[in-house]
Amino acid sequence: MSGFAVLAVDDVPPALDDLCRLLRAAPEVDEVVGAGDPISALRMIQNGRFDAVFLDISMPGLDGLELAALLAKLSEPPAIVFVTAYEQHAVAAFGVGAVDYLLKPVRAERLSDALARITRMRPTAAAAGPAEPPSPPTPDAMAALPVEQAGRTRYVRRGEVRFVEAHGDYVRLHAMSGVHVVRMPISRLEEYWEPAGFLRVHRSFLVSLDAVRELRSDSVGGLLAHTELGDVPVSRRHARELRDRLLAAAKRGQLDWRS
């Protein structure tokens, strides 16, 4: 299989030059073309075939998210990788089908990861063997948890819960119906709820991927997953997996990005 034809788009010339240099040095890439504005990029895409577009977000006239939305309507859209200095745009980028999201300054190893993702997306049907049958579904576990309140037991459905906070051997379920305390280690709840779309993003927090509305930076440069019931801290070691899972969920159409 031949290498990629890649279009790099950035309105800042030094940044565009750096990105083109990194792409040309990558063994997966055969051709690199640079565009200094989104309108020129759109014309180039209409006149040629690119396997991937590496795209800045903050640009005058037509920003990167708007350009990506236009490209998604093509009969054979290129893979989109966003390259930006602003981490808070990540969720919106996933929502328009981005393959990856690179923060400036781009490191060669992260660029290599993005190119590997694009490689896995390229058609390989002719080389692949017969498809394996799908795995049988696993039974749902702990779809609702019993909560003791004033001598009465009520059940909190998993779908109500936006995030979970650990407190020793207990967890606090932050749900639309309020905060509910359940005696259970967060590690056990993670085991049961992870297949249903909950992700461990911090040693003390699980978050529902469907509840994440955007990613934000806090006052000291840390990452927060914003939900309608509050912000959830995301540790550095879990940030990559969170972005990957959000991307996968968005591509399956499982997230409502308009909320």
pTM greater than 0.85 = no
Q: Which of these, 117, 55, 60, lies nearest to 80 by C-alpha position?
A: 55
Contacts of 91 (CB under 8 A, 6+ apart): 212, 213, 214, 215, 246, 257
User: Could you report the per-residue pLDDT of 67-121, keeping only the tens digit for each?
Assistant: 888 888 888 889 999 998 876 665 565 666 788 888 888 999 999 999 998 988 7
User: Rounded to 10 degrees, what is the CA torsion of 84, 86, 92, 94?
Assistant: 50
pLDDT at 128: 43
The reply to whether 4-121 and 144-251 are identical in fold is: no
Domain borders along the chain are 4-121, 144-251
- Which overall architecture, per CATH, does domain 4-121 show? 3-Layer(aba) Sandwich (3.40)
Q: Which of these, 254, 191, 146, lies nearest to 200 by C-alpha position?
A: 191
CATH of the domain spanning 144-251: 2.40.50.1020
Q: Out of 30-34, 53-57, 151-155, pick the least confident.
A: 151-155
User: Could you report the per-residue pLDDT of 123-142, keeping only the tens digit for each?
Assistant: 653 344 454 444 443 445 56
Q: Over the range 85-99, which residues count as b (16 or more CB within 10 Å of their CB) and which as e? A: eeeebbbbbbbbbbb
